[in-house]
Structures are given as structure tokens and as C-alpha cells.
Amino acid sequence: MGARDVNEIGVGMLGYAFMGKAHSNGFRKLEYMTWPPPLRPRLVAIAGRNEAAVSEAATRYGFERWTTDWHDLVSDPAIGLLDNLGPNALHAEPTIAAAEAGKHVVCEKPLGRNADESYEIWRRVAATGVKHLCAFNYRFVPAVRLARELIDAGELGEIRHFRGRYLQDWGDSDADVWRFDRGAAGSGALGDLAAHVVDLARYLVGDIDEVGGFVQTFIPNREVDDAVESTVVFANGAVGTLEATRLALGRRNAFQWEINGTNGSLAFDMERLNELQVFRSGDERTRGFTTVLVSEASHPFWEHWWPPGHIVGWGDTFVHELHHFLAAIADDTDVAPHGATFEDGYRAAEVCDAILRSSESGRREKITYKGL
Amino acid sequence: MGARDVNEIGVGMLGYAFMGKAHSNGFRKLEYMTWPPPLRPRLVAIAGRNEAAVSEAATRYGFERWTTDWHDLVSDPAIGLLDNLGPNALHAEPTIAAAEAGKHVVCEKPLGRNADESYEIWRRVAATGVKHLCAFNYRFVPAVRLARELIDAGELGEIRHFRGRYLQDWGDSDADVWRFDRGAAGSGALGDLAAHVVDLARYLVGDIDEVGGFVQTFIPNREVDDAVESTVVFANGAVGTLEATRLALGRRNAFQWEINGTNGSLAFDMERLNELQVFRSGDERTRGFTTVLVSEASHPFWEHWWPPGHIVGWGDTFVHELHHFLAAIADDTDVAPHGATFEDGYRAAEVCDAILRSSESGRREKITYKGL
Amino acid sequence: MGARDVNEIGVGMLGYAFMGKAHSNGFRKLEYMTWPPPLRPRLVAIAGRNEAAVSEAATRYGFERWTTDWHDLVSDPAIGLLDNLGPNALHAEPTIAAAEAGKHVVCEKPLGRNADESYEIWRRVAATGVKHLCAFNYRFVPAVRLARELIDAGELGEIRHFRGRYLQDWGDSDADVWRFDRGAAGSGALGDLAAHVVDLARYLVGDIDEVGGFVQTFIPNREVDDAVESTVVFANGAVGTLEATRLALGRRNAFQWEINGTNGSLAFDMERLNELQVFRSGDERTRGFTTVLVSEASHPFWEHWWPPGHIVGWGDTFVHELHHFLAAIADDTDVAPHGATFEDGYRAAEVCDAILRSSESGRREKITYKGL
Amino acid sequence: MGARDVNEIGVGMLGYAFMGKAHSNGFRKLEYMTWPPPLRPRLVAIAGRNEAAVSEAATRYGFERWTTDWHDLVSDPAIGLLDNLGPNALHAEPTIAAAEAGKHVVCEKPLGRNADESYEIWRRVAATGVKHLCAFNYRFVPAVRLARELIDAGELGEIRHFRGRYLQDWGDSDADVWRFDRGAAGSGALGDLAAHVVDLARYLVGDIDEVGGFVQTFIPNREVDDAVESTVVFANGAVGTLEATRLALGRRNAFQWEINGTNGSLAFDMERLNELQVFRSGDERTRGFTTVLVSEASHPFWEHWWPPGHIVGWGDTFVHELHHFLAAIADDTDVAPHGATFEDGYRAAEVCDAILRSSESGRREKITYKGL
């Protein structure tokens, strides 16, 4: 090669903290790690309310300009993609505005603070025809994608059980304050953690018909829930549990799930995100759970990386996710099924809302999903 | 020493299959392994319906005689302890009869086929004044006892979460046929597996106030449930999930639980029953889950065994359990709190019944417990 | 059945401490656990120097009589099998005497305190025609036997590597004092732990041609070695390392080994003795080390035990070992290859001696083995 | 902030394949991930023999220019740092030339193809006064640095044992051909893998006094060794083993080591590089190996990354390593002790050479190190 001919896409980013760092790294790293990239991200502008912080973020991550008013991103003709990483309360308006201005949109999860808001975001954005991605990045863990491929290939047979729990343990602290503010966050562990469990449950097993459970707040004066406990019934007849908590001491980022089918089982823990546990029926004498180190040339996403056994990190899931979204834009292909669309964001919100309804009603709650 | 002066107790056993083997081994092994034993078990008679099988069992395990009529055990003056290992439908009558004949009684779990039957067994037996033990043997796993001791010592602080699941995978087979017969077993995974989860939840965390969930049968024409999914609320405010299934491929005997408190966490898996995972707050730089190999001189039950690191097996839990019961008889001490009494058997049944009610009503169900 | 017709064999035991307990339990338990047993062990007499202790042991384990003079065992016509569990210095004379009196003999490892003494024991005992077993009990761990079967079936292809280490951590204490006495023990970690590594290396990979390494004593004034470090070359061309230490803090009984062949690998840790790690070439996407819980009906020794997943303990290896020896006596079959004969005991001693020679010479040492 | 005032350093890179990708990613990522970076790397030029490949690499990683003649890098005044990632045979000349041209130098390991060549590189480069780093990147794994800090703080007491093995399994393939060419590589598993073990042994335990072992080639017609087996004695009296192989099926990148001291132990596996296993003496009832997930704010390097539990990847070790080197240049501080200097590269080579000498002589070999 010599010169190359990959098109650029201008990126506007709303938010500069934890997720801003993660997505900026994703855009910068995919440019050379996924080669050739589908589009070359040009970091045009970043928006945030704290001027000192957002200007430093712009310098740090290489954005050409910064602003304290997100409307500037929407009106910027150099921007072709808005990546909305703001607090949950700031998901709807900028995302819809950007889409209506013709920009492709990425929005952090949860899509809205409830199903109605999520539905509205989906409906308005879908009407514009732009590409949309709800940033459930855990679909882009190599082991998770491998799980999906094994399931799609029928290697598990019919699925009977899903057990998912997202356990963290920082809930006794006062850190990350907007996440404890009901107005900004909508909910606590529910939207923050359980939404991830719901999304992977849907991605791996299928749509959810019914939940029964409750949210619980342990910390005095906290506005949002600390924990979620629920049973779940899937449309395909599988049953199981969904849990999330910020109060499981010793579990730092333990998004764990297990799936049992008629021919095999899978198990996973995000704290060992390079590994998938695989059980398949077969010779009784040598069967058991196999620890698959998901880092082979034939494994998902691994064409971009290192020789086998040289593991990737959590931050690299964003490289995969944003690469997928840029490819969908470049080639005008569907974001689904591997990327979560705003419809997926909405459907996850319906499940979370149903858990809240169940928490109040004391009843298992059926879930109905709206279409466009 | 030369001669010794340990009293004998005559044992009558009802049942000779899986549990008959386990309990016979327990009695024979405790005689020399727990030294000196509180009482020396004399294996007087064993009862079962299949004459060929029960007579062979008598020879094999060293019972002096055998019978096909359990009433013979009740009327036998040489028997001071009836160990009832029959199918669930045969728990009530022989157990009550033996107690009313003045014999101490051990009864396999679940105590009865439902809470009413369990209550009746407890009430009638308690009235006689004999010692009674419901054979929830997993209380006698060294790691489980250590967990209890750590909790009692306040090392976990206040408990917030219990997540318990008992996963097996033989449910597609037709083996062990009485366990699939509603009349004989009462229920499937519920009484067989979930009852163990409920008992350890109660032993480690405390009484259960509320459950919400359901039982599920996957196998066509099966009379009993294959799986149980439930949320749980404890009297002390802890919340979590209770699960059991016979259809989790690759999980052969995976009774797994995790407890999170305000100061630490514990985790366990019966397939590695010699290990307890312990997390305690402390120096951030070196904390994490510690794999405690529960085999030190200072660990529960270890005075009876080997040097550290020389692990015990599943069968050895019965040595501990029966030793505990014989000591309670010899010294006239309480079976509780470490042994499960018939009251514990009854209380576990109330929880199981509440899950069934919830399964039918679709509502979370509060639990009330009767006293004597 | 009713009456049975299994022949008895009278057992005389020399030693009553750790190994006395382990072997007594083995004899008593095999009588009903391996059904029908090949011979019924009758515990005739036990010998030891401490009269109070040996008499209590007799009572505890059910020996008919006790003595402080081991010659009484040799002259006792009721005894058909001498089980010599004494200190290493007391292996040769009683074992040879018993064999020459026509008794089958079990002798604890290491067989002698060096290769010459071991050879002499083997030579003299072999000449009598009795059955002999050197009690390398780890051959009778189900996972070890499964490993052997997989290797025998060619599932690993040609073996290239063996890495074995036996790590314990009680060497800073003063416990178990005869093990630190050069006269009584011969050596330290070498004969106590490294000998086990050598025996399993031989059992699983084959004979050893060459070693190069050294023994090391860390504790001031200690007469015996605390640690052994060695490279190893097998007759079949495989290479690797042999290690043993009593000073690996946190490793309580960690006899760990790994074998790599041209088609697969195996790994094992005695602290999780029910598990075998198995890797085999195959589909790149789902391969990895499989944790086989060695407890299936088709697994070695499992016909005697419980349903799958209900694990056995360290003490149960003696049930398997003594059962195997009694079967060899009853059926007049070979103790080898699965049982270690005195020839195996001698060959292990040659390897240990070669490590000592290498330690002094600074050279890798070839090993030659004598025949009868 | 707004404008920033971090100085640039021009980087010239020799090599564009596996390590070229790893180091390019390191330079690009540290610019925003370690904030503010000590120097901003400007990717000036990249050299390689294959014109099509090196020109594509330049485009991909963002180098301003490319060349097929490494002398161009040495003569380029815009380059302040030469990063030499070429085959081992191409380490000496360009590295020395660049240093003599006043450029700071990074050189991949092994530094030279033997101790003499390594010494010469060190001597000539040290004479110039530039900063030099031998790219033993595994010192920059957070868990490895934490291990070093714990050891430095005396938490392990005196070290008695080091057991290190680097196990890979691609040796049956024909991939990566220069690594099998004696002229280009010098050695096989020895320089490629065992050198890493030697370096971490030195970093964590201290200098090595003696080795005894051998190299082994299994594959017919292969010019270099496939495996290394050795015992080791450290200057401080610790003893253990060093192993490396490319033929351990199922071990993809398993650089495993364990250290035992008088107060505690550490264990590590590169396939789970975010975890350190820590054992420390203490309460017998709750001690054991603790799995420390090395991702806390107080852990090494973690100031640059994510919230706890969000793990990093293998590639991120280069971010840490190159950041360290740039900081040493920017602040004129020592590369040692945490970075490996060329002296460390030379000393590792002396150990590897001694293993080769031992392989041929059959004797344990003492090691003497030259100074400047």
C-alpha cells in the first residue's frame, strides 16, 4: 500500500468522563488495530458542562474542539456521528436532535430512564433513517460473541436455563454521584447493571416474556436501588434468574452468567473476560467444563489482535463495538443482530420497567413490546 | 487404655439404597474415626421391601438382622435409634411410630411431602421427648460449618445477599424412578434439591420471610418439577435468589452459594466441598477471595481427620452428622443449632410450599411458621 | 444373599499413627464399600513401641490384640498379611521376616532408606513368592488412574514433558519428629515427597534415565533435606522437572503434575484430587483444559462409590489400594502394573539416590537399575 | 487547560510485525492514556526489509515515513529514540549505531544472541550515555509490579523458592519462521521464552548464581531448541527451577511462576495476567491463596486505567513500559530498577549461556557477570 483511501467520519462526543475515555480510546485504537478500518474516525468535537474538564479532555483525546453546549455538536456539519455518553437524563434530547440532523447516533445504556422514554428515542431516531447503536458493549466481548455463535450453531440444543448476575461492590461509597441521583440516573443497579444482564440474556437466549422480583435499597437516604432480584421466563420457554447489586463485597465487576441447554452449557465471568466455560455432552470419561481462552485466530474479533494466549482488556470491547458501528455505516448494513440497536435498548427498558412493576405489585409481570 | 467404656446404641435403619449406604458408612466409620465416639452404634436391623436386596444390605453393612416390615424396627427393644431413609411418602408413619416407641429418630429430608405433613411429624415426635434430626447433611460439611462460625463471629457484618443454587444434570434420564413419582416424592427438584438450599440459607443467614417464584417441568409426562426459580427475602432484611434444577448439563452436584455482608463475603461449591472462598475488607492492595482449604487442625471436624491438605469426601459429612446426633443423645444436649431438627425440617417445608403457592398465584408469598 | 462366602485374611499392622489410621480405615471401609470384597480383612494384631498408644489403637480400630514387639506379628499364624507402616528404618527387617514367614507384605514408601536397602528388601521378599506392595497410594487416586488409562489408550500421543512437584509447608515446625531424624528417615523431602513424584512419573510416563539436581536444607541444624530440585530425562525421551519441598507456604498437600504429549496434556493437583485437567487437540474454537470431575460410573474405582459429583477424600485412596492388593492375593494376579511392587519401590529409590549423587557431584547422573 | 506543553520525542522503529504492532500501539495509546504523558511520541519513521509491508505499517500506525534501510533511522535528526524490534541477529548493529548517534534505545529481548554479543551491546551503548531499555515487558504487568512491591516491602520474608516456567504450544507448526533459524534467532525457547523467566526471576528474587540443566529439540531438523529444563540457585540462597517450552499443548501463553518465602507466597499465570495469587501467614482458619484482581486505584499503573475490575490486556503492558522509558528520558531518571536495562539484558544472557554450557558439560554451572 502507500496512500490509502479510507473515508473519514467526523465524531462528536457528549461526555468526557469514564465512558468518554473508554469510547475515545475505542475510536483512536480501532483506526490502526482493525485494519483497514471501515471508516477513519476524525474526533471533531467534545461537549461537557465543565469547561476546564472538557477542554482538557479535548486535548487529551485529540478532539479538534470542545464546547459546553451539546447543541454545537448537533449543528456541526463536520460531525457525522454523535456518541452520547451523558448521564441518563441527557440521553433523549441530544440523541434525537442529532439523528434528526442526519447524524448516526450511539447512545450509552440504558437508552432512556424508562421504557416510555426509551421507546420515544427509538421511534424518533428510527424515523430518521440513521444508524443507531445502544452501547451494550458486552456483546463485543470475544467470549460473549463466541457464546452466541455456539448457540446459533445449535451446539447447546434448546436452552432451558439462564442465570445472570452483575455483581459490584462500590455501593457503600459516595463516588460517582450522579448514579445515585434519581433524576439523573432514573434507577440504580437496575439501569446500570441489571440492564446489561437483560441485554445479554436477550442476545444469547432470546426475548423475555415475564419477570417477577423486586428492587431493594439498603443504604439510608439513597434515592435509587442498590440491588435487583428477579426470576425470568423467556419466550422460548427457558427460565432462570436476573440479579444485580452494587453491594457484593469482593466482586468488583463480576458480570457472571450461565446458560444450560439440552446439549451443553456455557458459563462466563467478566472478571475473566477472555475465558468462556464450555460444557458439551460427549464421552463421559473426559467431559466437564472446558476453559476456552478466547484468543485463537478463528475466534471472534481475534483477526485484529495478537497471537493466541495474549489476552485483551475490558477497554478493547469498545474497539470491537465502534468498529462494528462504523462498518454498518460504511457498508450500509444492519447494526443488528450483533450490535444492540435502539430497539434493543427499548426492549431492555421494558424488562427493567416490568421488574419495577413487579416490585410494587408483588406479582410476576408479563411484558409486551411495542413496535414502530 | 485397654478396655473402654463407651455405651452402645442399637440402630435400626429403614432403606438400604443410596442413603442406606451413606448412613451405614457414617455409623461404621464414626466408631473409630471420631475417637472416642459418644456412643458405639450397633447395627441391629435394616428394613426394606425387596427381600433379596435388604438381606444383602444387612450382610454388606453388618446389620444383625433384616426385615421387610418396618414395624419390626419399631417394636425391636434392641433398637434405640431409628434412621429413616425411605422414600418421602414413608417418612411420617415409621418416624412417628418409632418416636412414640421411645426411639431417637433421624429422618431424611424433606421431612414430609409438604408443610402440613412435616408439621405433623415434628409435632408428634417433639411430644415424645426423643431426639430428632432431619438429615440435612450439608450442615456438616467442614466449609459450611466454618462459614457459620465466621458469620456467628460477625466477620461478615450484616448480611445483605444470599444467592443459592443446587444444580444437577441427570434429569433427562429415567434413573432413580421414585424421585419422579409425585405420590412417593411429593415434588421433584423442589424437595430434593431446593430444600437443601433453603436449609443452608436458614442455617447461614436466618429465617425466610418471603419468596416469589415458580417450579417448572421440562420433560414431557413428568409428574414432578425439574427446576425451581425464586427470589427470597430474609427476616433480617437480606435478599437474594434460590434456585434448583436437575437440568444444568455439566453440573453434577453443584450446590453453590454466595453470601455478601457489610464486611465480607463467602462463596462455596459442593463439587469442591473442601474449599471455602472468603473475602474480607482490608488492605486494598492484597484483598480478594481467599481459597481456604478447610483442613486445618483448628477447622470444624478436623480433629477427627488427617494432616492439613488431605481432603475429605462427600460421604464423610455423614460421619460428622451422625456423630453429632449420637453426642446429643449421649450427653442429652440439643441437636440444634448445628443439627437440623424436625422443626428445621418443617420450616424448610413451609418455604418450599410457599414457592409452590407463588408458582400458582403469581404473587410473592409471605411465610408464617407455626409453633408447637 | 444371606450368608456369604468371602474368605478372610488376617492382618497384622506395624505402626499406629498417621498411616496406621489411614490403613486401618482402608481395611475397615473396603469390607463393605467394595462389594463383595475380594477378601475380608480380619484385624488380628497391631504392633508399636508405645504400649499405651498401641493398645488404644487396637481398641479404636478393632484389632484383636496388640503388641510392643513386631516379631509377634511375624510369628502369628493368624496373620496372612503384614502391613508395615513403621519409620523408614524399620521397613527392611520386619518386612523381610514376614515375607519369609509366608505372609504377604505391604510396606510404606520409601521402601528402604536408599537404593541398596530397597533392593535388598525387594530381592529377599521376591524370593519368597509372596505378594508385595509398596504403598504409593497416589496411584489409587481416581484421577491418576484415569490419567494412566488415557495415556495407555494413546490419547496424549507421545509424551514430551513431565513437570512434577510435591509442595508442602510444615517444614518450619518441629512436628513429626522422626521425619527430621536422618537415622530414622534416611532423607527429608526426598524420600517423603519426591519419592511420590518419582513414582507417579514412572507410573504415568515411564522409567527415568537421568536426573540432575540437588537437595537443600534451609533450617539450621536440620539433619535432612527440606527441598529437592531436579531435571529429569525419561527413557522414552520425555524431559522435565521433579521438585519437592516442605517449605512452600500455602501449599498444604500440593502434589501437582502436568504431562504434555503430542496430542494432548493432563494436569493435576492433589489438593483437588477429584479433578483431572484434560486438554486434547481438536476444534480450535472450543478447546482448552477441561476440568473433569472424576466421579462418573465409568471412571476408575467409581463402581464402589456414590452418584456423580459426590466426591471422595484422600483417605479413600487407601480403600482402593488395599482392595487392589487383596484382589491380587485372592485371585493370585499381579500387583503390577497398577499397584507399586517392591521393584517399583526399589526403582524409585534408585532415582532418589541419583539425585543425591548429582547433588554431590554437580553432574547429571545416569541411572541403572538392577534386576533380580 | 487549552494548549499543553508536553515535549515531543521522535520515534524510529525497526521492525513492523508482531512487536511492531505491539510497540506502535504502546506509543499511540500512552499519549492519551497516561495523562499527561512524560513526552509525546512522534512516530517519525519505520524500517523493514519488505517494502510493501513496511509502507503499509507506516500508514497503519501513523509513521510519517518508512524505509527499507535501517541506517536511515540512525541518521534521521528528527528521531530521538530508536525502538529496535528486529530479529535477534539485527539487535547489535542498529542499536549501537543509534546510541552512538545520540538516540535513546529500546531493544527487544533477548538483547544479543549470546552473552558476549549482549555484553558488547551493553558496553558500547552505556558508553554513549543514552537511556537504554531491554524490552522485557512482563515487568510491566500490574500483577508483576505488585509482586515486586510486596517482596520489596518484606511481606514474603526471605525467599526460598522460585519456580518459573514459560509454556507455549505452537512449536509443532512452521509459523514465525525466523524464530526457528539459528542464525537469526540464536536459540529457540531459550532466548524467546526462558529469557523472560530468567528476567522475572532476577527482577523478583535477585541475581542467579548457578544453573544446571539442558536444552532439548524434539522436532526433526529443527535448528533451535524446543524446550529448556533447569535447576537454579540464587545469590540469596533461594533455589528452584526454570523451564520453557514451545510444546506444552493447551498452554498458549502460560508464563507461570511461584515464589515461596518465609512469610508468604505468590503465584502468577500470564494467561490470567490481571490476577496475583497471594498467600500470607496469618489466622489459620481463613488463610489460603487470595486471588487479587490487580485493578485497584492503589495498584501499580492503575491510575491510568479504569474502575476496579475492568481488566487490561497483554498489549497494555507496552503502554506501561514505554511510558516508563519516556519518563526516564524526560526526567533524566534511571531506567532501573523497574525497567530492564541493557545490563539486565546482558545478565539474562549470561544465565541462558550457562544453561547451554550445562547442557553440554552435564554439570551445574556457576555464573560470573562482567561489569563495565
Cβ pair B306:C314 closer than 8 A = yes
pLDDT tens, B48-91?
A: 999 999 999 999 999 999 999 999 999 999 999 999 999 999 99
Q: Is the pLDDT of residue D3 over 50?
A: no
Burial class (CB in 10 A: 0-12, 13-18, 19+), D207: middle
Burial class (CB in 10 A: 0-12, 13-18, 19+), A334: exposed
> Which of D150, D161, D217, D277 to mutate: most C Cβ within 10 Å?
D161
Mean pLDDT, residues D123-129: 98
Domain boundary among B113, B137, B161: B137
The pLDDT assigned to C120 comes to 98
Are D92 and D228 part of one and the same domain?
no
Are A158 and A102 part of one and the same domain?
no
Residue numbers in B near A212 (CB within 8 A): 212-214, 231, 362, 364
Q: Which of A248, A258, A289 sits opposite B260 (nearest CB)?
A: A248
Are A132 and A152 part of one and the same domain?
no
Mean pLDDT, residues B37-45: 98
Percentages of chain B per state (helix, strand, coil), in multiples of 5 = 40, 25, 40
Nearest-angstrom CA–CA distance, D27 and C34: 66
The mean of the pLDDT values for chain C is: 96
Residue numbers in B near D303 (CB within 8 A): none
Q: Which residue of C has its CA nearest to D239?
A: C229
Nearest-angstrom CA–CA distance, C310 and B271: 7
Determine the distance in angstroms separating the CA of A298 from the nearest CA of chain C, rounded to an integer: 7
Residue numbers in D near A295 (CB within 8 A): 252
Determine the distance in angstroms separating the CA of C152 from the nearest CA of chain A, rounded to an integer: 14
Judge whether D282 lies within some domain: yes
Please count the CA atoms within 13 angstroms of the CA of A304 that sit on its side-chain side.
23
This model of the complex carries an ipTM of 0.96
Are A128 and A148 part of one and the same domain?
no
Q: Which residue of C has its CA nearest to B252?
A: C309
> Which of B146, B285, B294 to mutate: most D Cβ within 10 Å?
B285
> Which of A229, A269, A280 to mutate: most B Cβ within 10 Å?
A229
The mean of the pLDDT values for chain B is: 96
The pLDDT assigned to D186 comes to 83
Longest dimension (CA), chain C: 66
The pLDDT assigned to C184 comes to 81
Strands, E, within C237-323: which ranges? 239-245, 254-261, 264-269, 275-280, 289-293
Are C73 and C156 part of one and the same domain?
no
Residue numbers in D near B146 (CB within 8 A): 285
pLDDT tens, A304-361?
A: 999 999 999 999 999 999 999 999 999 999 999 999 999 999 999 999 999 999 999 9
Is residue D290 within 8 A of residue D146, CB to CB? The reply is no
Cβ pair B290:D293 closer than 8 A = no
The mean of the pLDDT values for chain D is: 96
Residue numbers in B near A240 (CB within 8 A): 229, 243
pLDDT tens, B335-360?
A: 999 999 999 999 999 999 999 999 99
Judge whether B128 lies within some domain: yes
pLDDT tens, D31-58?
A: 999 999 999 999 999 999 999 999 999 9
Q: Which residues contact C353 (CB under 8 A, 6 or more apart)?
A: C114, C115
pLDDT tens, B136-181?
A: 999 999 999 999 999 999 999 999 999 999 999 999 987 667 788 8
State how beta strands A132-134 and A104-107 pair. Answer: parallel
Are A345 and A259 part of one and the same domain?
yes
Q: Is the pLDDT of residue C177 over 80?
A: no
The pLDDT assigned to C2 comes to 36
Cβ pair A161:B245 closer than 8 A = yes
Q: How confident is the model at residue B2 (pLDDT cuts 50, 70, 90)?
A: very low
CATH of the domain at D155: 3.30.360.10
Q: Which of D25, D251, D306 sits opposite A33 (nearest CB)?
A: D25
Instruction: Report the neighbours of A using a cutoff of 3 or more CB pairs below 8 angstroms.
Output: B, C, D
pLDDT tens, C118-138?
A: 999 999 999 999 999 999 999
**Domain boundaries, position D168:** 141-312+338-361
The pLDDT assigned to B176 comes to 64
Cβ pair A252:D295 closer than 8 A = yes
Are B31 and B165 part of one and the same domain?
no
Are C351 and C277 part of one and the same domain?
yes
Judge whether A320 lies within some domain: no
Judge whether D218 lies within some domain: yes
CATH of the domain at C30: 3.40.50.720
pLDDT tens, C151-175?
A: 999 999 999 999 999 999 999 987 6
For the record, the C-alpha cell of B84 comes out as 429413616
Q: Is the pLDDT of residue C3 over 60?
A: no
Are B113 and B27 part of one and the same domain?
yes
Mean pLDDT, residues D232-245: 98
The pLDDT assigned to B4 comes to 54
Q: How confident is the model at residue A5 (pLDDT cuts 50, 70, 90)?
A: confident
The pLDDT assigned to A178 comes to 78
Name which of B257-271, B306-320, C162-176 the model is least confident about. C162-176
The pLDDT assigned to B327 comes to 98
Q: Which residue of A has its CA nearest to B263?
A: A249
Q: Is the pLDDT of residue D1 over 80?
A: no
Determine the distance in angstroms separating the CA of D165 from the nearest CA of chain B, rounded to an integer: 23
Q: Is the pLDDT of residue A181 over 70?
A: yes
Residue type, B95: T
Judge whether A102 lies within some domain: yes
Cβ pair B309:C18 closer than 8 A = no
For the record, the C-alpha cell of B175 comes out as 434413573
For the record, the C-alpha cell of D195 comes out as 529469557
Cβ pair B299:D285 closer than 8 A = yes
CA C66 to the chain's CA centroid: 26
Are B62 and B201 part of one and the same domain?
no
Q: Which residue of C has its CA nearest to D245?
A: C161
Mean pLDDT, residues C193-220: 98
Nearest-angstrom CA–CA distance, C192 and C173: 16
Name which of A27-36, B360-369, D170-179 the model is least confident about. D170-179
Domain boundary among B101, B120, B137: B137
If one counts the domains in chain A, the total is: 2
Question: DSSP string spanning D203-268?
Answer: HHT--EEEEEEEEE--STT-SS-SEEEEEEEETTS-EEEEEEES--TT-SSEEEEEEEESSEEEEE
> Which of A190, A239, A259 to mutate: most B Cβ within 10 Å?
A239
Determine the distance in angstroms separating the CA of A116 from the nearest CA of chain D, rounded to an integer: 31
Judge whether C330 lies within some domain: no
Q: How confident is the model at residue A2 (pLDDT cuts 50, 70, 90)?
A: very low
Domain boundary among D86, D104, D137: D137
The pLDDT assigned to A176 comes to 64
pLDDT tens, A69-114?
A: 999 999 999 999 999 999 999 999 999 999 999 999 999 999 999 9
Judge whether D186 lies within some domain: yes
Annotate C157-199 with three-state secondary structure. Answer: CCEEEEEEEEECCCCCCCCCHHHHCHHHHCCCHHHHHHHHHHH
Judge whether A223 lies within some domain: yes
Q: Which of D2, D59, D312 sits opposite A55 (nearest CB)?
A: D2
Q: Is the pLDDT of residue B118 over 90?
A: yes
| Sign of torsion over alpha carbons C223, C228, C229, C232 | positive
List residues of D whose CB lies inside 8 A of any B CB: 146, 150, 278, 280, 284-293, 296-299
Are D151 and D256 part of one and the same domain?
yes
Are C57 and C115 part of one and the same domain?
yes
Percent of chain B exceeding pLDDT 90 equals 94
Nearest-angstrom CA–CA distance, D39 and D11: 11
Mean pLDDT, residues A168-197: 88
Mean pLDDT, residues C315-337: 98
